Chains A and B, each alone.
Chain A
């Protein structure tokens, strides 16, 4: 009995020492190969990303201004203390979180709705799907031009429609009204980015075997119950992926705000990235701007960690 089970092992270990050594060399070579393949790319990434990251962190501890070239001094935690002691910065930090969570609610909600609709047998589904993806491929500069025109207080179609339909006699100046500007930018950014999430969610939904839906139908589940109890649990990974990319995309979204309002009016749309840009290129305070960048970086790292645990970890192995 034991000899039978042991026999393959015995066969393997029955190799001559020379062959064993050769095998070990081969294994070593095989283990080394991926390192050699990945090495140059890894090195390039380390230089292009790693070096600047280290330097950004370094500069964030300096009193460094481009208006005083070559006169940097060590500031310790000075830049960070100044930031976190500044109510304005804390407001901007809070606004960044509101901006990111609003983006998530709108984009994930709409994304699920769109994906679920397109997952049914529709006529011209392909055409609809293609049309839907268009906003995603429109460059942000164009998005800004399109929406600035759409929302123009005098000649823009949206206010024109609101006036002519009698809904509002004096429609707001959307991009200059502190009450509306942030929600409006959330919606515009959703217009551009929702299709991306919808496509990922749709891909997830198409992996669900039709039988599961049919079984639920036989059990008497209505459309909402099927969506809630069959679709959503099956695409948890896709939802997590869209959640994390949406949050990180929103925190990093600079163009989507700068090209509309430059952080105004009266600071109503200032988020961390626009503040970092302003600090660096209006005030030329690179120490403080680096500290803000490091705060952003820390937030992104947290998201990345969550991503690896939730999305990659759940799959229990390499993709």
Chain B
């Protein structure tokens, strides 16, 4: 059965590559290597002897030879007589590459992936069901984080890193204007309007998928939800959702508090943080990955992080990575040993050294959490951070349907309320397709 499946899907894979090749259109932008998985370093399908594990992660997580992750895997490998090959793949290419190689019956033994793609990778048979393996350790992680690594009630990975979105603000700009750090929607709006003028702007927003992703906290804060309980219909365009979206889009359309070039910030977070780093924009909502570009790009900037301003309730959007076993791994037991070791309390320093927050629950009360006030904001917000719906088609809803909807709104092509209603209908249609 499995054999037949993999043959069928391998054919599909060749098929698309072929259609593309036939049309002469190179897929060079979509992957770093042949999708067929002819990787000489030996992927799971060939290792057999138990001596080699292949680990894939995005480029930032994999890092170079002395990155914290590589140090960790090397330490474990030496202790256990296993060679661990860590391969970094650009964030945009990671999911397509994992999906196509797995369809071809290949793929890594271990993968570290964005939590929002776990359901999709589970459905596509890229990640393996952890089965009972995780029972002994799942208590070490918060419920919402485990939900973020699950699909259909089954665990497909352990939380590796976690993050959420908070408010970055420019101390100097707020201080000069005599404005307190906003804690409510109204305060945020007033502060943003106040801080906008001349070459200076109050608040940063993103285009396309960035704008879609950053809407969720406001929706939840207003008491709204993205999907109904059984994940069969989109609910984000109900009255509560419309109210939240009117606030969110109003910052763009009515208040015009963002740098005009925000409409070009469509894929790379570097574009999103640039106005803040340049000291032209006073506030932005982003996760901990916003810190490094500020520190690197403008070390003199006086800035800090605060919890997101709240609506009727507090909420932020949960991000981060999960670590799971490759579906086609020939060595799932060994892969699991590595995963459970990497996510154990003793190895947290490796994740902390990478600037990320470990997904373990005990990190909340650790000394490390309180040692940096900005870090503490994110760790405290873990309590109110929510996972997005565990749907295989989630990527298409967030970076397809919602991204196009948001672009149509900020480009002035569609009224916000109409756009949101249409997007909800389209998202619901996507669910049943």
Chain A residues packing against B (C-beta within 8 Å) = 48-49, 51-60, 64, 66-70, 72, 152-154, 170, 173, 175-178, 248, 252, 254-255, 258-259, 261-262, 264-267, 273, 276-278, 280-284, 286, 289-290, 293-294, 296-297, 300
Contacts and interface: CB of A to CB of B under 8 A. Distances in A.
A154 B278 contact: yes
A266 B401 CA distance: 11
Given A173-B264, A282-B399, A297 B23 contact: yes
B11 interface: yes
Interface stretch (B12-20, B213-221, B302-310): B12-20
Main secondary structure, interface of B, reads helix
A176 B400 contact: no
Contact of B29 (A57, A66, A258): A258
B395 interface: yes
B65 to A, nearest CB: 24
A284 B16 contact: no
Nearest to B28: A255
Interface in B185-224: 207-208
Contacts of A56: 15-16, 18-20, 22
Closest 9 A/B residue pairs (Cβ): A52-B18, A293-B19, A56-B19, A70-B5, A176-B264, A296-B23, A266-B407, A153-B261, A55-B15
B266 A262 contact: yes
Given A154-B278, A176-B266, A289-B16, A52 B27 contact: no
A66 B396 contact: no
B26 A290 contact: no
B297 to A, nearest CB: 12
Contacts of B15: 52, 55-56, 58-59, 286, 290
Contact of B16 (A282, A283, A293): A293
A138 B16 CA distance: 28
A118 to B, nearest CB: 29
Interface in B18-69: 18-30
Interface in B92-117: 95-96, 99-100, 103
B295 interface: no
Given A67-B123, A265-B407, 19 more contacts: A49-B22, A52-B17, A53-B18, A59-B15, A59-B19, A66-B9, A67-B120, A152-B261, A153-B264, A175-B264, A252-B23, A254-B29, A262-B208, A265-B266, A276-B20, A290-B19, A293-B22, A293-B23, A297-B19
B410 to A, nearest CB: 8
Contact of B261 (A54, A59, A70, A154): A154
Given A56-B22, A273-B25, A280 B393 contact: no
